[in-house]
Structure 1
Amino acid sequence: MGPVWGTGAGTDGAAAEALKSHVVRARLAGTIATSREKSLTRYRLFAAGDPRVLIGLEPENDWSVAEVLQVMAEQCGVSADPGHTSGPDVIDPHRTLVGLDAFADRLGAAAARHAPVLIGTGHPHRLLGFYGGLADALSAAGCPLLTPAYGRCVDIATRFGVRTYNLDYVRGVALMREPGVRRTAGEPGVHTHSPLPVRTALDAAADAGGPLPELVIGDHGWVCGAGQLGFEAIGLADTDDPALFVGQAEGRVSAVVPLDDAVRSDYYRPLTRYVLNRACLSQ
């Protein structure tokens, strides 16, 4: 049986309904490109404690595969049936809207107190525009956008071995680049799940005597790595990224938006507008 999509509070109004329709059409939610096989593999690796899937989170509890699947069903809307092992995965679009509401509320609270913010992404090819829009609005609202460890080298384990990348910032958003690669519109950065970039940035901020971020925004290791260290962290996550959702369940991640994190970059623009409108940050 497929997922049952809810209609609870938190996503009322024409704007929410329009966005819900958009995320389904764009396959940000509903039936998505991420495969069920890939998601289940990641849940098994998470339960086994594989650091490639923990991405900086150190779970307080011992999570079984069944428990991880249950959390993902509750927070994303994936099928809770362990016998459902193939085909495309699904995300409940209502849960995407609820996640966006919570995300926007934390964003608005940070803006209201002019909190210093650190933003970083492991998905720059897809999500740099989304985060850049948030960065622009937060800066205009008086939030310092932190850029610690700019240019710092970070050694990250990949499937090709340990690779050295440089920490860069574009529009106030941190990302990793190949050494020696020039900034161009066609080379926005490298894809990584590692928590090492956020740890490097936070260490550099602390060594410099601050300021430290009061809110970290991002995905993958940026969220889990910051949340594990006690920083408030919010972000986006796909069905094959269980660490963020477990982090939320254990109270170390404040808000996670379930969505496909690898669709066309322009498909995220309506999400930016929705979040900024709800956070009262529209310019």
Structure 2
Amino acid sequence: MVSRRALRAHLVAARLAGSVATSREESLRSYRLFAARDPRALIGIDPQGAWEARDLIELMAEKCGVSADPGCTTGHDVIDPHRTLAALDAFAERLAAAARRRVPVLLGTGHPHRLLGFYAALADALSTAGCTVLTPATGRSVDITTRFGLRTHILDYVGGVALVREPGATVPARATGAHTHSPLPVRTALAAAAEAGGPLPGLVIGDHGWVCGAGQLGFEAIGLADTDDPALFVGEAEGVVSVVVPLDDAVRSVYYRPLTRYVLNRACLSQ
């Protein structure tokens, strides 16, 4: 079992929390885009509040521990590891509740190169506990706007976790897909599940558009988010998203393994 003290030390050493790689400049740019209602920053959330850039700085200071000073415009962002630990506990509670009720679950990631292993372990544990791990719309095309223009991707699942790939890619099952913030993949998956007559997920787990898109449609959603992803934290503040864990979402995949063990232990889902 991973203790809280040991996990806190790991979070800081691996730069999952503490001083993280995400720059203050990146985060502030995302806050400005969100305030301007740019879809690239909203990633599926339809905010009810005004949420100006200053409001977002205050929210992110509360949720993540970043500097609340608007005059702080350079350097690395900071995530309070105590906030990360508290959110991981809440995340584990939601997993435990889903397992007790044996609800269908849907997992998806826009960070497959980093987070696929974390989510796949959750999918395996929830399946063992009796939850149906959903894989709707496998092979379905999803048109996503990128900085290179509109690109068609294919929805796929690895280890029970949804991701998108570029079409025509012939890769082994262990390979990962494309990075995306888009809510379109989860909307496609949920629409396919509904068209097939269900079941629909009782819990959606993931990041980026997977959490925001599902939460905005009324599904319980929990996930991970970095300091430059204000949409998830706005969703949590407005009651659209249930739990968001603040951490760097782009470190080496092996660094998430202690979090996996901690969460599964807390949820009584360790195998």
When the two structures are superposed, what TM-score results if normalisation uses the length of structure 1? Answer: 0.94
Structure 2 CA distance for aligned equivalents of residues 51 and 180 of structure 1: 27
1:141 and 2:129 equivalent?
A: yes
Deviation at 1:184, TM superposition (A): 2.8
1:62 and 2:55 equivalent?
A: no
**Counterpart secondary structure, 2:3:** helix
1:18 and 2:29 equivalent?
A: no
The one-letter amino acid of 1:282's match is: S
Aligned to 2:203: 215
Aligned to 1:233: 221
The one-letter amino acid of 2:138's match is: Y
Structure 1 residues 186, 213: CA separation in 2 closer, same or farther (over 3 Å shift)?
closer
Deviation at 1:183, TM superposition (A): 2.6
Aligned to 1:42: 30
Aligned to 1:7: none
Structure 1 CA distance for aligned equivalents of residues 170 and 121 of structure 2: 23
Is the CA contact (8 Å cut-off) linking 2:153 and 2:164 kept in structure 1?
Answer: yes
Name which of 267, 272, 278 aligns with 2:260: 272
**Counterpart secondary structure, 1:101:** helix
Structure 2 CA distance for aligned equivalents of residues 174 and 276 of structure 1: 20
The one-letter amino acid of 1:35's match is: S
Aligned to 2:63: 75
Is the CA contact (8 Å cut-off) linking 2:2 and 2:262 kept in structure 1?
Answer: no
Structure 2 CA distance for aligned equivalents of residues 59 and 185 of structure 1: 37
Aligned to 1:100: 88
Structure 1 CA distance for aligned equivalents of residues 219 and 185 of structure 2: 15
Is the CA contact (8 Å cut-off) linking 2:158 and 2:173 kept in structure 1?
Answer: no
Deviation at 1:196, TM superposition (A): 0.0
Deviation at 1:185, TM superposition (A): 6.7
1:110 and 2:98 equivalent?
A: yes
The one-letter amino acid of 2:140's match is: R
The one-letter amino acid of 2:72's match is: H
User: Any idea what the Cα deviations from partners look like across 1:201-256, whole Å, max 9, x if unmatched?
Assistant: 00000000000000000000000000000000000000000000000000000000
Name which of 230, 234, 239 aligns with 1:251: 239
User: Any idea what the Cα deviations from partners look like across 1:60-83, whole Å, max 9, x if unmatched?
Assistant: 111111111111000000000000
**Counterpart secondary structure, 1:24:** helix
Structure 2 CA distance for aligned equivalents of residues 254 and 182 of structure 1: 36
Structure 1 CA distance for aligned equivalents of residues 107 and 92 of structure 2: 14
1:90 and 2:90 equivalent?
A: no
Deviation at 1:187, TM superposition (A): 3.6
Structure 1 CA distance for aligned equivalents of residues 174 and 205 of structure 2: 24
Aligned to 1:164: 152
Percent of aligned pairs sharing the same letter: 75
Structure 1 CA distance for aligned equivalents of residues 136 and 174 of structure 2: 25
Moved more, 185-194 or 42-51: 185-194
Structure 2 CA distance for aligned equivalents of residues 60 and 229 of structure 1: 14
**Counterpart secondary structure, 2:222:** strand
Structure 1 residues 194, 282: CA separation in 2 closer, same or farther (over 3 Å shift)?
same
Structure 1 CA distance for aligned equivalents of residues 174 and 21 of structure 2: 23
Is the CA contact (8 Å cut-off) linking 2:138 and 2:156 kept in structure 1?
Answer: yes
Unmatched 5+ residue regions in structure 1?
1-12
Moved more, 181-190 or 50-59: 181-190
Aligned to 1:184: 172
**Counterpart secondary structure, 1:74:** helix
Aligned to 1:196: 184
Aligned to 2:15: 27
The one-letter amino acid of 1:100's match is: L
Is the CA contact (8 Å cut-off) linking 2:2 and 2:258 kept in structure 1?
Answer: no
Aligned to 1:174: 162
Deviation at 1:180, TM superposition (A): 1.2
**Structure 1: 4+ residue segments shifted above 4 A:** none
